[in-house]
Every structure is written in structure tokens, then in C-alpha cells.
Amino acid sequence: MVKSVRRKALSVERIILFLLFTAYCSLPTIVEAQDGGVPGALLNYGMTPRTIAMGKTFTGLADDQEAVYFNPAGLVQLLSHNIKSSYLSLLGTQLGYLGYALPTRKYGSLGFGLIYHGSGDVDSWDASGNPFGTFKFYQGCFLFSYAYQPWRPLGVGINVKVMASKIAQYGALGLGGDLGILLFPRGNLTIGLTCQNILGPKLTHDTQTDEVPITFRGGVALKLYRKRVIIAADIVKNVLDYTAVDYHVGMEFIPIYPMVTLRGGIDRNHIGAGLGLKKDWNKFSVGLDYAIELHYASSYLVPLKHKMGISVNFAGFRTWVEASPKQFSPTPGRKENIAWMDLHYNAKRPIERWQLLIKNQYGEVVRTYAGWEAPPLRLSWDGLDDIGRVVADGKYYYEMLLIDEMGETLSFRDYLTRVATLGPEGEIEFLPQE
């Protein structure tokens, strides 16, 4: 009889502990979604400051490593290795993200993502209301993505996700997947569709099971003014009847290319804004992103959320130009009256056409080189413009553009050389005056 009572008490304590855990884990979800909380909300929130600032709008854009989270098909757009990392303190918990994406020439693109969501000590009580000690919870998810582009207008991608959860001494492990496509009907328009959480994951703690519902995402993105302005929108709905359709709208503006980016967005609960700073060294670039989120659906009672993140791009498919010498004079008769330009590129596919523009310090094009198929390895510039006039003294910059056989573009711009017009070399004779 005593053993039976103890077993019942232990069973009740387990149930209460699980309910406390469920309520605590659902608190951020309830605040975010206002649908009472759904299992696996960690997989439908947004991981980095860029997407948070844009109102969690990324399904149709999906043009960096975070595509593994929203739409794995977007990885086909990557041209360089991309690492992203971020951190957020979320209502007493910590949310961290680390991801890496690798594009290849023949075998598509690969991506990896690691999500961590954990708490500090959480108080608990037994069935009689007496303190039962403290416990911790942890949720994590590993994402493995693969994307391939069989034709120019279409990219397809899949995710395999492994989700782990632990509450006190109870642990659970679940397996699921995503399927996404990205359409390129026009060069500046992309459309994304994703079916998330296929076949789970299912997480069982003791005798309680949570199944992450299948979620459908649709999105569109429009890039304007040479990709300096991006407007995007998403619609999200899971299969649960009691949840509403979520909308997300975001915008990105680059006033100083590529160094400064401004972002803003809105969804059913939040207003987001953010800033991105980026430094590009051709083969290597580093970005620092910041986002702030205001919960207007709660009449701004929920505290502001601040999120920081770092992104790194390196190697991959690029193009650049090196000029020698770094200063020359187009004056006839001088030794250094020509600038030699070495053209470098690493492309996914054969080049269909190319263009090299030389610009002055005001951004005006003074000389144009162009052609079909692969560009030459070396070109020369004699310091003349397209009409045949000697250009003004000053600094000059280049913009290199390559278009491959599937219409994908490689481009880069940087400092080229300096023109300093000098008089002809010779000796000056001084004659004494009588």
C-alpha cells in the first residue's frame, strides 16, 4: 500500500514537472505566436539579426546560409562559403545559432545549422505545493541541407533535422525533414515554397509526446536598383486548426554599397528593425548585424529584444582584377604609360559573356571592355576613354561582371589604378645670361 502511494505520488510529480516544463518552454512561443504555443516553435522563429529585422521574411529570398532554416533550396544562390552566428537572450532563456554553407561546382550546395535553446535554473513544486527543487531544460536542433539547381528557373533543396530536448532527467530525440523549392521567373524576382517538419520530429519525455506540426511557407522577393533594395513577403501556416495564418513583410536597403545595410519588417506580433555593417576584401568579407524587435501585439509590454550576429564569407566563386602599376601616366614616350589588368575568376559554369567597366571617382564610366565567352586573362588600358580622349588625373575603379550559361551573375568592384599625367621625360638646359 505504501509503495502504491509512493508510485502514485511520483507519477503525479512527473506529470507536474512535465507540465511546468511545457509551460516554461511555451512561454516564448505564446508571446511570439499568441496561439497558445505549438510544439517546435524553435523551428519557425528566425535565427539571425538579418531575418529578425526583416520580420522573419526569408522563404522567397533565402540568399545566404540561413536558407537551411527557412528554405534549403535557396542555397543554390550562394557563391561563397558562408558562416553565420548569432545570440539572443529570450525571456530568461538563451538562443544561439551557428551555421555554415558550402557551394560546389558540380555537386550542388551543402549547408549545416546548429540551434541551441536553453535555460538556467527553473523552480518546481510537488503535488502538495512544496518546493521540489530546480531543474533545467535544453532544446537543440541540427540541420543538414542539400540543394541543387537542375535548370535555371528552378532550385530544389532538402533538410534532414535532428532535434533533441531534455527536461531535468528526461530526454528525447526526434528526426524530421523539410522540402523546399525556389523559382527564378525573372532575374530580379524569386519565389519560394517550403514544406517543413515532414514526418516530425516527435519528442517523447517520459510518457508525454510532442509532435512538431507540418508547416507550409510561401514567399516572394523582389530585388530593385541593382539589388540595393529588396522587398519580401512570406505567408506561413501549419496544419493545426487552432493556429492562424502568419504574414511577414520585410525590406532591405543598401545606401552605401556594400558597407551599410538598413532593414525593417513587420509580422503579426512584431515590428523589427536592424543595421548591417560589412567590410569586403574581395576573397574575404566580414559582416556585423544588429536587430531590435518590438512586440506591438502586447501593447509593447514585452521588453525589447536585441540580437547580434556575425557573418563571414570567403573563397568560393568570385571575380576580381589586379592592375599594374598602381599609378601610371598615359603620356606618350614614358615607360609606364599603360596599365596592365589581370582578370581573375572562378565560376560554377562556363562563361557566356563578360563586361569590364572602368570608372572615375564620381562613378562615371570612362572605358568599357566586353565580349562573349570567357574573358581574356590580361587587358591593357592606355588611359583613354571610349572616345579616345585622355582621362583626367585621379583614382580609377573597376566593375567586373560575368554571366554564365545559366544566367547567374558574378560581379565585383574595387580600386584599380591612379592616373597622373606628367610631362615628357628629358633634360632642361640652362643658359647663362650675359
Model pLDDT, residue 425: 52
Contacts 24+ apart (CB under 8 A), 423-431: 423/331, 424/331, 424/332, 424/333, 424/334, 425/333, 425/334
Q: What pLDDT, on the 0 to 100 scale, is given for residue 242?
A: 82
SS3 365: strand
**What CATH number labels 319-419?**
2.60.40.4070
The model's confidence at residue 236, banded by pLDDT at 50, 70 and 90, is very high
Q: How far is residue 359's CA from residue 233's CA, in Å, rounded to a whole number?
A: 36
pLDDT at 201 over 90: no
- Distance, in Å, from the CA atom of 181 to the CA atom of 73, rounded to the nearest integer, reads 5
More confidently predicted of 109 and 14: 109
Quote the pLDDT of residue 434: 56
> Considering the chain, what percentage of its residues have pLDDT values greater than 70?
84
4 pLDDT more than 60: no
| Count of beta carbons in the 10 Å neighbourhood of residue 281 | 9
- Place 433 in a pLDDT band, splitting at 50, 70 and 90: low
Is the pLDDT assigned to residue 184 strictly greater than 60?
A: yes
**Residue 125: its pLDDT value, please?**
67
Q: What is the pLDDT of residue 303?
A: 83
Residues 331 and 338: their CA atoms lie apart, in Å, by 9
Q: Predicted confidence band at 171 (pLDDT cuts at 50, 70, 90)?
A: confident
Cis peptide before 325 (omega within 30 of 0): yes
Checking if the pLDDT of 7 tops 50, the result is: no
Domains in the chain: boundaries: 2-252, 319-419
Task: List the beta bridge partners of residue 135.
Answer: 122
Of the candidate ranges 17-31, 295-309, 360-374, the one whose mean pLDDT is the lowest? 17-31
How large is the average pLDDT for residues 244-272? 93
What CATH class is the domain 2-252?
mainly beta
Report helix, strand or coil for 42.
helix
Is the pLDDT score of 414 beyond 50? yes
Of 274, 248, 272, 254, nearest to 263 (Cα)?
274
Work out the average pLDDT over 370-398: 93
User: Tens of pLDDT along 100-157?
Assistant: 999 998 889 999 999 988 876 666 666 777 777 777 777 889 999 999 998 888 999 9
Nearest 5 degrees, angle CA 193-CA 308-CA 266?
A: 45
Rounded distance, CA 149 to CA 127, Å?
Answer: 57
CA dihedral angle for residue 276, residue 282, residue 285, residue 287, rounded to 10 degrees: 0
- The neighbouring-strand residues paired with 205 are 208
Three-state SS at 348: coil
Q: Look at residues 315, 316, 259, 265 and name the one whose alpha carbon lies nearest to residue 289.
A: 259
Of 349 and 67, more confident: 67
CB 136 within 8 A of CB 103: no
Instruction: Give 26-84 pLDDT, tens digit per residue.
Output: 434 434 444 446 777 778 788 999 999 999 999 999 999 999 999 999 999 998 999 99
Mean pLDDT of the chain: 84
Residue 277 confidence (pLDDT): 96
Rg (CA), the chain: 28
Residue 16 has a pLDDT of 39
Which pLDDT tens digit goes with each residue over 280-327?
A: 877 789 999 999 999 988 888 888 889 999 999 998 888 899 999 999
Q: Going by C-beta distance under 8 Å and a sequence separation of 6 or more, which residues neighbour residue 244?
A: 35, 237, 268
Q: What angle do CA 365, 366, 371 make, to 5 degrees?
A: 80
pLDDT surpassing 80 at residue 225: yes
Amino acid at 319: T
229 CB burial (10 A radius; 0-12, 13-18, 19+): middle
Which residues are within 8 A (CB) of 401 and not within 5 positions of it... i.e. 6 or more apart?
354, 355, 356, 357, 409, 410, 411
Assigned C-alpha cell, 275? 543595421
Same fold, 2-252 and 319-419: no
Strand partners, 399: 357, 413
- Out of 18-22, 36-40, 94-98, 352-356, give the one with best mean pLDDT: 352-356
pLDDT tier for residue 401 given thresholds of 50, 70 and 90: very high
